[in-house]
Amino acid sequence: MERPDQDAVDTMRIILIQDVPHLGSLGDEVQVKDGYARNYLLPKGMAMSAGSKNAAHIAHRRKRLEGLREQAIELAEAESEKVGNLELVVRAKAGTNGRLFGSVTNRDLKAALEELGYTVDRRAITLHAPIKSLGIHGATVKLHSEVKTDVSVKVVSMELTEEELRAEEEAAAEAAGEAPAEGTAGEAAAENAESTEGEGAASGSQEPAPEAAPEAGEAAESQAPSAPGDA
């Protein structure tokens, strides 16, 4: 006796009623795990079963969804032309060598897009390579399951005070397990301490040494009783 196909038992074909990140867009027909469909997608109204027994109902809804899907694709394509011409500017903390203290993430790009009036799920943004330095970089924004566009990302340095820059460099060196570079705040503190001690020693040597107390001796002599012969 033939055993049923395990994939057929454990999976279900569904039609998405709305966009689902990492799965598809409205109107897409996809195959997912049976439990994922029955326990999450279907109860939340995010999808419907593609194998519904009500053929007339499913055909009507599917036709409507296909129309909505086409509209969504057209809107995404129009949006992609605008987004593709953007240069996203991200400000980040960087050292004098242009290396960032950390990295730029898709969350940063999402925020940059929102500042320009575009709302995009951060999971729909993919970096071409890790962004860890100043300059021009690239990323891809997925506006629909069938529509993607590349954007230019310009990373510029935040203005940091000397103290902030020194603190960031020391933190980066410590995180990397490196010894502090010359001229760090630690060495400056040590130099200041030595300088203070030297000044203290010099100023102490200039103070007059406490005088012996001859006056006390003289007073004692004047108060002592006279010898009998002197009377």
The pLDDT score that the predictor gives to residue 52 is 63
Give the per-residue SS3 of the chain: CCCCCHHHHHEEEEEECCCECCCECCCCEEEEEHHHHHHHHCCCCCEEECCCCCHHHHHHHHHHHHHHHHHHHHHHHHHHHHHHCCEEEEEECECCCCEEEEEECHHHHHHHHHHCCCCCCHHHEEECCCEEECEEEEEEEEEECCEEEEEEEEEEECCCCHHHHHHHHHHHHHHCCCCCCCCCHHHHHHHHHHHHHHHHHHHHHHCCCCCCCHHHHHHHHHHCCCCHHHC
Q: What is the mean pLDDT of each run of 10 residues along the chain (231 residues)?
A: 53 87 84 93 88 66 82 91 90 87 92 92 93 94 91 88 74 65 42 42 42 43 43 34
Sketch out the chain's domains with CATH numbers.
Answer: 8-80 (3.40.5.10), 86-157 (3.10.430.100)
